[in-house]
Structure 1
Amino acid sequence: MSYPPDPNNPYGQPPAAPGYGYPQQAPQAPPVPGYGYPPAAPGYGYAPAVPQSMPGLVMTTRVLLFIIGGVQVILAGFCLIAAAATKDVVTKTSSTSDDFISSIGNAAAGILLVVGVVWALAATLSITLGAKFGKGGNGVRITTIVYGSIASIFGLLDLIGGISSKVTVNIIIGLIWIAICVIWITAMCVRDGVNWFNRPRY
């Protein structure tokens, strides 16, 4: 029967030092990440949140672009029809009227034609921008800002003209148009709007 060595016995076998006579454990290598998953780099901050759905203010801007585009189509059609009708009247009455009246009629028809084409181009731009809000990038955002800035100038001119001539309709239209342009520009400049148009696309 054996007994454990007495630690107080001066003639006993000294205890073995730890690590001698035993194989030392090799240092373990860090775990290797699985294939297909890159190792996550330690970041010092948080990446901007990527919106999963279109932010509310951006969606409002998109709806307003479609509504304004529809109104612009109606105005373009009205101006083009009026231009054609004016030209027809001038052509039918050219034999009985003097040259001065005919020139005024032709000038009016030309102005209506140009205004109709401008409204048609504006309608195309409005509807195209609204359609590209879903998949468009930063170029759509910048174009919308420029479009809203230029359009707000026309709204301001309409407002000033309405105030100077005391025409209530022009004042109301000018205020509404300026408010719409401010919504467009604001939606494109806030953080949610910037993140939406700069989000990664796969």
Structure 2
Amino acid sequence: MSFGEPNSPYGPPPQQPAPGYGYPQQGPPPGVPPQAPQGYGAYPAAPPMHPSGYGYPPAGPAQMPGITRAAQIMLGVIVLAHAVIAGLYAYTLTVWDETMAEAGITGDSQAQEFADLGKGIVVFFLGLAAVFALLGLALLFQYAKGGNGVRVCSIVYGSFAIITGIFMIAAWGIGLLIIAVAILLIVFAAKRASAEWFKRPRY
């Protein structure tokens, strides 16, 4: 007697229940990603995680790092030094004619030409020192809210300050101070903490 007959005492063979109704489904073979159930879309991609594990992008330092503050102070010292140099050049111009007269140069035409040339050079350096001080002052006020360009400009500014410091060594000795402070400005502005401060996200 076959199992398919209706009068069989053994009855029909048991049917396998549909998966998902009281029986666990078998997982996919190892190495195969799980598939979404039919009737539903693919699983949404997880948002990129920050290395810290919190799922938010890095916010950057909340306050200006000490090394960046030191760079700002060094920049301020260079600005002040150039302002002092501009003042000394201005004072030199005020007494220039009197000094030339005491030296007896006013009566000699050839000597007068050299005196006028020297006066023109003093005026040039006066304007250069004044412009350099103003540029540094504008850069100084950008440290709190400026971007990475402020850091790059500070490094370039420090490089030019070293050159101006070399010219000022023979004048009043302020050049030695400018060279030392300019080197510190370049080092502090190039630090990683300073880069992170100027590259922090702004909302």
How far residue 126 of structure 1 moved from its aligned partner, in angstroms, is: 1.5
Q: Distance in 2 between matches of 1:125 and 1:198?
A: 22
Letter in 2 for 1:41: P
Q: Distance in 2 between matches of 1:106 and 1:42?
A: 69
How far residue 193 of structure 1 moved from its aligned partner, in angstroms, is: 0.7
Tell whether 2:197 aligns with 1:196.
yes
Over 3 Å counting, the alpha-carbon distance change for 1:95 and 1:196 in structure 2 is closer
Percent identity, please.
Answer: 30
Tell whether 2:152 aligns with 1:146.
no
Letter in 2 for 1:79: Y
Q: Distance in 2 between matches of 1:96 and 1:186?
A: 49
Tell whether 2:47 aligns with 1:41.
yes
* Aligned equivalent of 1:165: none
Please tell me whether the aligned partners of residues 155 and 185 of structure 2 are also in contact (alpha carbons under 8 angstroms): yes
How far residue 101 of structure 1 moved from its aligned partner, in angstroms, is: 2.6
How far residue 55 of structure 1 moved from its aligned partner, in angstroms, is: 0.8
Instruction: Report the structure, 1 or 2, having the larger helix content.
Output: 1
Q: Distance in 2 between matches of 1:92 and 1:152?
A: 35
How far residue 132 of structure 1 moved from its aligned partner, in angstroms, is: 0.8
Q: Distance in 2 between matches of 1:190 and 1:41?
A: 31
Over 3 Å counting, the alpha-carbon distance change for 1:94 and 1:158 in structure 2 is closer
RMSD of Structure 2 on Structure 1 (CA): 4.3
Please tell me whether the aligned partners of residues 162 and 182 of structure 2 are also in contact (alpha carbons under 8 angstroms): yes
Q: TM-score, normalised by structure 2?
A: 0.65
**What are structure 1's unaligned runs of at least 5 residues?**
1-16, 30-38, 162-168
**What are structure 2's unaligned runs of at least 5 residues?**
1-15, 23-36
- Aligned ranges 1:72-111 → 2 under 5 Å: 72-87=82-97, 97-111=107-121
Q: How many residues align?
A: 177
Partner of 1:201, secondary structure, is coil
Q: Distance in 1 between matches of 2:106 and 2:146?
A: 57
Please tell me whether the aligned partners of residues 86 and 108 of structure 1 are also in contact (alpha carbons under 8 angstroms): no
How far residue 150 of structure 1 moved from its aligned partner, in angstroms, is: 2.5
How far residue 116 of structure 1 moved from its aligned partner, in angstroms, is: 0.8
Please tell me whether the aligned partners of residues 69 and 126 of structure 1 are also in contact (alpha carbons under 8 angstroms): yes
Q: TM-score, normalised by structure 1?
A: 0.65
Q: Distance in 2 between matches of 1:78 and 1:156?
A: 17
Please tell me whether the aligned partners of residues 79 and 132 of structure 2 are also in contact (alpha carbons under 8 angstroms): yes
